[in-house]
Amino acid sequence: MTATAPYRSPLGTAGRDGFARLVHAEWTKFRTAPGGPAGLVLAALLVVGLGLLSAAGSHASCSKGPVEVPCPVPPRGPGGEAVEDHFFFAHQPLRGDGSITVRVSAMSGRIRLPDAVPGVRNVATAMTPWARAGLMIKASTRQGASYAAVMVTAEHGVRMQHDFTEDVAGLPGKVTPSTPRWLRLTRTGDTVTGEESADGVRWTKVAAVRLPGLPAQARVGLFAASPGDVRVTGNAVGGSTVTSRFSEVTAVMDRLDVRGAGTGGAFALDDIGVSYELDGSPHHPGGFRESGGTYTITGVGDIAPLTVGSTVENTLAGAMFALVAVIVVGVLSVTAEYRRGLVRTTLLASPRRGRVLVAKAVVVLAATFAGSLAATAVTLPLAKRVLAGNGVHLLPVSALTELRVVAGVAGVLAVSAVLALAFGALLRRGAAAVIAAVAAVLVPYVLATTSVLPEPVADWLLRVTPAAGFAVQQSIPEYPQVVGHHAPAGGFYPLPPWAGFAVLCGYAALVLALAVRRLNREDA
Amino acid sequence: MEATIEVSGLRKRYGSKQALDGMTFTVRPGHVTGFVGPNGAGKSTTMRVVLGLDAPDEGHALVGGRPYASLRTPLRHVGALLDAAALQPGRTGRHHLLWLAHSQGLGARRVDEVLELTGLGPAAHRRAGGYSLGMRQRLGVAAAMLGDPPVLLLDEPFNGLDPEGIVWMRGFLRALAAEGRAVLVSSHLMSELEDTAGHLVVAGRGRVLADTSVADLIARASGGRVRLRTTAREAAMRALAEAGATVTVQDRETLTVDGLAAEQVVRLLTAREVPFAEVAAHRATLEAAYLDLTRDAVEYRGAAR
């Protein structure tokens, strides 16, 4: 055997750190195979195309008798959110600091029930749980103007609420002639303090809130409001049907004591936010009567943020279809290598197998996120403009929330692609992995949000399956004090946005870990 | 790092089949080592164990003194061609090499170098799905050469090559070995390795049957046999058999004589006045030696150890 000097390569040593090299290699691999980039382009086109198509096809118009008119834009609260601001207000001017005190001695109400005899109004004497009456200070009588109010409610005790979204509980208990409740509202600068008392002697503070920008001259007085009677009934296919019916509340108050500059005159009466019949008469009017120091006030409506309507995330509904495309991209990024035996070449280049799979996941995550983000970031504002042009007004949200929706939907697509990739690596068969990923993400999402399942089941699905991740797109929060039907079918998720997203990420990490384990344990 | 491949006591069982049964050999730099044996002898499995793709039940394999899995830029230490068909058909040949290069911290320049080296330059920008089997083999060799490694493992590199390609591959492998690289080339056809391999590892049933230089193997297979050409075949056979030799008929005029030296054959035939045209020591072809060796693996178990 002849001795030959062993070969020495003139190539230099590798510059980058090992993992960065792998990511670079996987990126090169991803972008040079036609399937991956094409799948992401398709996903982006689905988001943009379906979003704009659906926006272009949506029109809203309202009628005033025989005349078609643009639909009214809902008023907006101080925080920018769309609000319902509908109540009866008996008020006086208040300049500067001052206070108002009253005793609420009785509360009653009426609810219209489904007609037992067709054509005969079926009205019951009852109150909805959040029927309320009490004291309010409001910047003006304009709908949406800043306010603070202390009140008694039918079922939720004393509350202090302000600026539509905020709510603080006082003491529980109902108002009856034998257990009246005293309420007091005090303005000091831009701070408003609400207090309650059982006897008018010993007072308990409910809350002190700041109303920034409350003008020196505000309106102060008595109010009553009663949200609709919302009922949810099961429907034939297992989902639910929601109805909301007229309700009103009537409160009896006395021992009125108003202090401060400008007060003491007669009450001005405003049925704020009431709608009118064609003949000009108010539809379901409230009312106010004064008799020897006793005030009887009747109100209809709600003072609350609007939570039902078209939302910004509705413009990104195409993401559901894009999800299928990115799932296929994620799965094929692994199973195409298994199908051709290319995985061995990959493992020759990187014998540390877990790292190569993670590098692949990083590339799929980043590429899918970038492609989807471009699509969502274009679609949402564009669709919003198209919709506005068609008379459809989305429930307004802050720029930060819009950003969360845009990035969140892209994030759901990207993490779902990683989950699909992990299924591909775990199962090594393209068809099986696509079915697994669709069954994990898309099927529970569709079942839970299309009102075919009983609500507890839908809620449960959106807590424990990867579909929980869609919670990240919910732009309108659920307020405990706001009457409404907050179900998945209406876009309300059982988990907070980032918690839901974390569930999806957890699943992706779990399946990826299982895939790494299998890859490390078995021969390639 | 030393340019060697060390395989030591590898055992591996797939279900009921003992794929490797104590495979042991060392590949040294400076010449092409042929790794031959019939299909199922354990050649590919051994290569996959060396490359860290399969884990052995027992034994170990080292490349340059280290397990493959511990190499941080493995393609700069070992180049391998396992399955030339392992390509994504939609990717161009150049892009296939580019991602591999990036994984080793190498750039596009090195990719173009190996494309030139393997003569794939003109097809570099075509999709690999359209490559002929021979072009795929060249692409596989290009991938193996990316990291300019001191050790090369090539599994059946002659598969699918046209005659011109076979000539090219032989010269290429010899040149790599001459540079001081350790080159292990597996084949199930010994003829492909003739004039290429300087050393042979003959495998059968998961173990080594012979680990020898080509010259030694031929000498041993040739035994003490004598080739005889005669027009009087019957008479010659009778005379030789009576003297105790074993005679095999090769063709109408040629016999192979086992058991007598050439001089004895000449003396015997001359004494019996049997005419003959030529008596020569028989030289086995590599092919024949190999077939001899692998015909019955059991017989040679002792010889291999």
**pLDDT score of B136 more than 60:** yes
Nearest CA-CA distance, residue A338 and chain B, Å:
9
Cα–Cα dist A257/B143, whole Å: 92
- Is A349 near chain B, with CB under 8 Å? yes
Task: Say whether both B201 and B242 belong to one domain.
Answer: no
Which of B33, B296, B80, B84 is CA-nearest to residue B186? B33
- Burial environment of residue B303 by CB neighbours within 10 A (0 to 12, 13 to 18, 19 or more): exposed
DSSP conformation letters of A470-493: GGGG--SPPPTTS-S---GGGT--
B109 within domain boundaries? no
- Supply the range of the domain harboring residue B253: 224-281
CATH number, position B182: 3.40.50.300
**pLDDT per residue as tens digits for the range A333-353:** 999 999 999 999 999 999 999
Q: Is B167 found in the same domain as B260?
A: no
Count CB atoms within 10 A of the CB of residue B171: 11
CB atoms B103 and A21 under 8 Å: yes
Residue A296 C-alpha from the chain's centroid? 37
Residues B43 and B155 in one domain: yes
User: In 10 A of CB B234, how many CB atoms?
Assistant: 9
Provide the CA B206 distance to its chain's centre, in angstroms: 15
Decide if B180 is inside a domain: yes
B155 and B215, same domain (yes or no): yes
Nearest CA in chain B to A9: B148
Q: Which stretch of A381-390, B37-46, B242-251 has the lowest confidence by average pLDDT?
A: B242-251
A contacts of B90 (beta carbons < 8 Å):
33-35
Q: How far apart are CA A183 and CA B64, in angstroms?
A: 88
Rounded Cα–Cα distance for residues A316 and A142 (Å): 34
Q: Where in chain A is the domain with CATH 2.60.120?
A: 83-305
Domain boundary among B168, B203, B219: B219
Do B154 and B267 fall into the same domain? no
- Asked if residue B11 and residue B73 are part of one domain, the reply reads yes
Domain count, chain B: 2
**Same domain assignment for residues B70 and B50:** yes
B229 and B177 assigned to the same domain: no
Reading chain A (524 residues) residue by residue, the pLDDT tens digits are 445 677 887 777 666 668 999 999 999 999 998 889 999 999 999 999 999 999 999 888 887 777 888 888 889 999 999 999 999 999 999 999 999 999 999 999 999 887 778 878 888 899 999 999 999 999 999 999 999 999 999 999 999 999 999 999 999 999 998 999 999 999 999 999 999 999 999 999 999 999 998 999 999 999 999 998 888 777 666 666 777 889 999 999 999 999 999 888 899 999 999 988 888 888 889 999 999 899 999 999 999 999 888 899 999 999 999 999 999 999 999 999 999 999 999 999 999 999 999 999 999 999 999 999 999 999 999 999 999 888 888 999 999 999 999 999 999 999 999 999 999 999 999 999 999 999 999 999 999 988 788 888 999 999 999 999 999 999 999 898 887 778 888 889 999 999 999 999 999 999 999 999 999 998 87
Q: Which of B186, B197, B105, B93 is nearest to B142 (CA)?
A: B93
Q: Tell me whether residue B57 is in a domain.
A: yes
If asked whether residues B246 and B192 sit together in one domain, one would say no
CA distances from B88 to A463, B130, B142 (A): 39, 11, 16
CB atoms within 10 A of CB B19: 24
Confidence check on the interface: ipTM exceeds 0.90, yes or no: no
Q: Bridge-partner residues for B207, per DSSP? A: B204
Q: Is residue B247 part of a domain?
A: yes
Q: Which of A272, A10, A11, A27 is nearest to A141 (CA)?
A: A272
Identity of the residue in A15, A349, A523 whose CB atom sits nearest the CB atom of B100: A349
Q: Under an 8 A CB cutoff, do B150 and A9 touch?
A: yes
- B253 with B160, same domain? no
Q: How many CA atoms lie within 13 A of A139 on its CB side?
A: 18
Dihedral class, residue B111 (left if φ above 0, else alpha if ψ from -120 to 50, else beta) = alpha
CA of A432, closest CA in chain B: separation in Å? 20
Residues 6+ apart with CB under 8 A from B64: B1, B2, B3, B4, B77, B78, B150, B151
Same structural domain, B233 and B204 = no
* E strand spans, A114-146: 122-125, 132-138
CATH number of the domain that residue B267 is part of: 3.30.70.100
Domain contains B154: yes
* Chain B residue at shortest CA distance from A11: B148
Decide if A33 and B88 are in contact by the 8 Å CB cutoff. Answer: yes
State residue A19 phi and psi, 5-degree precision: -70, -40
CATH number (3.30.70, 2.40.10, 3.10.110, 2.60.120) of A83-305 reads 2.60.120
Say whether both B153 and B277 belong to one domain: no
CA atoms within 13 Å, Cβ hemisphere of B16: 0
